[in-house]
Chain A
Amino acid sequence: EPEVTQTPSHQVTQMGQEVILRCVPISNHLYFYWYRQILGQKVEFLVSFYNNEISEKSEIFDDQFSVERPDGSNFTLKIRSTKLEDSAMYFCASSERGTPYQPQHFGDGTRLSIL
């Protein structure tokens, strides 16, 4: 079964540095998402992306964050000037269509640790 793959599995970064989290969505999917899960808390939506632009974003997704699809397969989340509170598990997801009843397929996540 096709999978969403994320790299790296664990990223350790100094506070203030920039970090790029990478995702390869399922190949025939058109909608891409990033979620965040701070340790012990619920999964929170960050942003959705379709047709090379942001479709929807949450209040968490401020100017510190950006997303990009640099080629036909990768989908990246960039976090500029990282803060301690950015430490979390970041999940990428994709879906074939962007409808409420279309389940999203999740990657295994990247654990981001800010020191």
Chain B
Amino acid sequence: AQSVTQPDIHITVSEGASLELRCNYSYGATPYLFWYVQSPGQGLQLLLKYFSGDTLVQGIKGFEAEFKRSQSSFNLRKPSVHWSDAAEYFCAVGAGGSYIPTFGRGTSLIVHP
């Protein structure tokens, strides 16, 4: 079965600084990978997804993620963080015959002014 690890529980950055949130997965073949964002009091919103092709994926709100098979990683990046980006970020993997994604524990992003 697939699994997802988000090693950072909290990340604190200053507004305008760059951001990288880490995600590592475990699965024998090429997985389907997702990043979701959860703002306080709201549900999960899909930021971007990877299925195949170009390993650098562009998403909404200026986010991008890069699939690195050799490292089993799918890290989320943003060149310049805005205060409104403060939220919980979840990496998820879907694989094989199951369409049910497995979620990581989430990384809480704190943005300092």
Contacts and interface: CB of A to CB of B under 8 A. Distances in A.
A76 B45 CA distance: 21
A43 B100 contact: no
B45 A42 contact: no
Interface residues of B, number: 24
Interface stretch (B14-22, B73-81, B103-111): B103-111
A106 B45 contact: yes
Given A56-B100, A100-B99, A43 B43 contact: no
**Chain B at the A interface: mostly helix, strand, loop or mixed?**
loop
B90 A43 contact: yes
A28 interface: no
A25 interface: no
A102 B94 CA distance: 10
Interface residues of A, number: 26
B98 A103 contact: no
Contacts, number: 56
Contacts of B90: 42-43
A42 to B, nearest CB: 4
Interface in A57-103: 91, 93, 95, 98-103
Contact of B99 (A41, A98, A107): A98
B94 A101 contact: yes
A45 B101 CA distance: 8
B95 A103 contact: no
Interface string B22-44: 00000000001010100001111
B2 to A, nearest CB: 10
Nearest to A97: B99
Given A4-B43, A42-B105, A91-B44, A56 B49 contact: no
A45 B43 contact: no
Nearest to A104: B101
Nearest to A43: B103
Nearest to B94: A100
A70 B85 CA distance: 38
Interface of B: 32, 34, 36, 41-46, 49, 51, 90, 94-96, 98-106
